[in-house]
Amino acid sequence: MKTLILAFIFLFVLSTAHALRAEGGYRLWLKYDLISNPQKLQSYQQAIRGWMIIGDCPILTAAKKELQTGLEGLLGSTAPFSDELKNGLVIAGTYKDAPLLAKANLGDKLKNLGPEGFVIVNTTITDKKVIVITANADAGVLYGVFHFLRLLQTQQNLEPLDLVSFPKIRLRLLNHWDNLDRTVERGYAGFSLWDWHKLPDYIHSYYHDYARANASIGINGTVLNNVNANALILTPLYLEKVAALAEVFRPYNIKVYLSIRFSAPIDIGGLKVSDPLDKQVRQWWKAKAGEIYALIPDFGGFLVKANSEGQPGPQNYGRTHADGANMLADALQPFGGVVMWRAFVYDDNIKEDRAKQAYNEFKPLDGAFGENVLVQVKNGPIDFQPREPFHPLFGATPKTSLMVEFQITQEYLGFSTHLVYLGTLFKEVLDADTYARGAGSTVAKIVDGSLDKHTISGIAGVANTGTDRNWTGHLFAQANWYAFGRLAWDHQLTAEAIAEEWIRMTLSNDPTVIQPVKKMMMASRENTVNYMSPLGLHHIMGWGHHYGPAPWIKDKHRDDWTSVYYHKADSSGVGFDRTARGSNAVSQYCPPVAKKFTALETCPDEYLLWFHHLSWDYKMRSGKTLWEELCHRYYAGAAAVQEMQNTWNALQGKIDEDSFRHVQAMLKIQEKEAVWWRNACVLYFQSFSRRPMPAELEKPQKSLQYYQELSFPFAPK
């Protein structure tokens, strides 16, 4: 009997240990597991012999808990708290509130770091060798602690340390397209995180972990609800729930924001209009702002989608976007709130290239928006396509603060079943030169406010989180959340460096894992563009749900929701002519950019069919005809997914089995769907080109009709 009991205990402990190891990706990149490299572990244990956080407030308490948890996990024991100065002490606190830190003479380093920047240095205080993490404000200390733990997680050298870091962009937000019924528009990782029914009385533990994850990468704001907003979010019932979430997020320096429905004065206020120039309407919003700030003193502000895709807005009353935004800005201004007014607007009654409409509506309003208004512009002029040129509004409105909106969730990039690292996409846009004030006028410099000397700046990412155990559906989709936050903090970081950080923190510090996985990640987005929409093709996905290829979509109730509107394939060629011969959308860019895109000699292959309608026999730089190049791109993209599978399979045993099996299964789905995209698109475009497939490429086994008849009535939307 005793043997049986011992065996049972052993099996129980073993299964529990396995469950802890196979946590399904829940811990994200905050895995504080014991450092496996014996030499590195020993060096850290010798360098860190204790820790001290000076100060007592909710944010510093969060920093203290994180530092204790991190050091305990990474070093194998809790580094003891000490109130006695000694060698090897990690000391954290705000510079002004910790007289001990003044002895380190770091004042000059902190001068221009603002309230969120931090300093991490090796130094001596009264002859004791210490590591100092300090900042001008509590938030900076929190960010400094997370950065210090990141150094340990990625096994960086602690000698010497002389780090100075501060955010380039002031407002760094996630936009959640979450609905009050817990569905998520463009959500592919389960239901909404926000359990509105149980709030405000029940607080899920994962609310805290969500806040920790965001704070660890510098995100300082979250828009809780869908831009296609329900006015009920502004009722007392829901504002109490919002306040409960704000209470959880506050210790992590995260403000809450709300998407609002412009017709809320009618929907929940009993008014007959929502005209932004109506006195009663303006007073209603001022009263509503006061009500919100009474519950949430640090409320961030409003995100607004108006006069777009059927949403109500100021144009319903003959007013402008500026009229609507400024009405809300006036209501928020006394409390320090901001309005983020989305520029994603287009009208099917306007028979104009959809790529031009946002510019046409917002360019004339430059200088008309209030000081606490940011116009939120998608990275490209259509809609988060696998690849778009940067939006022409960037650089076109020097008197208006612009914030860029990226999509972290993979609406057009395979949902959460395709491995697509978006750090390269984010960098491609941020580094793009608009030439707005001459060479070097990058999108990043416009967004961070430095180019036009704006004091307010912002960046938003449409979140990919949900109730799935690993938060994002696909383990590697976590890397896109991570990359967005890191670039929001510092857009000068490289996509490759960020990828390596994430691999080290999430998968392994083993170089034989890091290098192949990093190579796989860095190529993944280009591979996906190739098997979905190469050479500047765009908007050829499924109807209604955006799942899978459907370049044949036509004859719908609005042209710009069809595929044929964008690719314009016919017997003569393919592509959307946006030069002066066509829609002339290219003229919305500054002359050097417009010239580059207009001339076939200088237009990058990546944007060729975005700006030009070309013959199937057009000679490409590769020496192939356009038709041959298109086929080879589609086939190369699908083949690259097979290579990713081979790369990943070779890592078995070097990555925890749970993560390995998960990604392996996802890659099988991706490979199958990449071939589907390849075959469906090549067969469809061949029906116009009337040219044979290149002889070296295998022929699709199914017919075009087969792919056209596929139906997915319950595909995620």
Q: Which residues carry out catalysis?
A: 309, 383, 411
Please check whether residue 549 is in contact with residue 637, taking contact to mean a CB–CB distance below 8 angstroms. no
Residue 553: strand, helix, or coil: coil
Angle at 125 between CA 122 and CA 130, to 5 degrees: 35
**Contact between 221 and 255 (Cβ < 8 Å):** yes
Q: Which two tokens stand for residue 449?
A: 């406010």
d(CA 352, CA 588): 14
Q: Where are the alpha helices (DSSP H) in 250-397?
A: 264-267, 279-295, 321-332, 354-362
Residue pair 120/175 in contact (Cβ under 8 Å)? The answer is: no
DSSP label of 714: T
247: exposed, middle or buried (C-beta count within 10 Å: 0-12, 13-18, 19+)?
middle
Quote the CA–CA distance of 416 and 11 in Å, as a whole number: 35
CA distances from 664 to 32, 547, 645 (A): 25, 21, 7
| Nearest one of 363, 297, 286 to 327, comparing CA atoms | 286
Chain position carrying tokens 């469950």 = 19
What Cα–Cα distance (Å) separates residue 90 from each residue in 52, 53, 110, 669? Answer: 6, 8, 18, 47
Residue 637: in which H helix or E strand, if any?
A: helix 626-649
Q: How far apart are CA 623 and CA 462, in angstroms?
A: 40
The Cα–Cα gap between 328 and 345 comes to 19
Element (H, E) at 141: helix 138-153
Query: What is the H or E stretch that residue 102 is in?
Result: helix 99-102
Determine the Cα–Cα distance for residues 551 and 309; give it in Å rounded to an integer: 22
Residue 270, both tokens? 């009993």
Spell out a b/e string for 75-104, using b for 16 or more CB atoms within 10 Å of the CB, else e. Answer: beeebeeeeebeebbbbbbbbebbeebeeb
Collapsing DSSP to helix, strand or coil, 128 comes out as: strand
**DSSP code per residue over 2-69:** HHHHHHHHHHHHHHHHHHHH--TTTTTT---PPP--HHHHHHHHHH--EEEE---SHHHHHHHHHHHH
Element (H, E) at 532: helix 511-532
Bridge partners of 134, per DSSP, are: 93, 119
Rounded (10°) CA dihedral 642, 646, 648, 651: 180
Q: Output the CA angle 477-480-484, nearest 5 degrees.
A: 160
DSSP states of 294-315: HH-TT--EEEE--SSTT---GG
3-state secondary structure 439-508: CCCEHHHHHCCCCCCCCCCEEEEECCCCCCCCCCCCHHHHHHHHHHHHHHHCCCCCHHHHHHHHHHHHCC
Between helix 38-47 and helix 58-75 the angle, nearest 10°, is: 140
